[in-house]
Amino acid sequence: MLAVEPGVVIELDKQVGEPVEVTINDRPVFKGEVVVIEENFGVRITEIVEKHDKLGK
């Protein structure tokens, strides 16, 4: 289990502007792109994947 709290470092293997897919428990949850905001890296969400999966079931 990954506990995310202030100060935790998560290594990204993508560059700024590249697409990423965030998964939780081996299930894709959302897609986005790597961004930098005030010297901090983040992920801008562009698509929520899990919601689409629930609609199909």
pTM above 0.75, yes or no: no
- Do residues 48 and 29 touch, judged by C-beta distance below 8 A? yes
Domain that holds residue 22: 1-57
- Which ranges in 1-57 belong to alpha helices (H)? 49-56
Count of domains observed in the chain: 1
The CATH number for 44's domain is 2.30.330.10
Residue in this structure with the two tokens 């935790």, named with its chain if needed: 8
**Pairwise pLDDT comparison (34 vs 5), residue with the higher score:** 34
> Which pLDDT score is estimated for 51?
58
| Residue 26 CB-density burial (10 A; 0-12 exposed, 13-18 middle, 19+ buried) | exposed
> Which pLDDT score is estimated for 33?
95
> Which pLDDT score is estimated for 4?
73
> Which pLDDT score is estimated for 25?
80
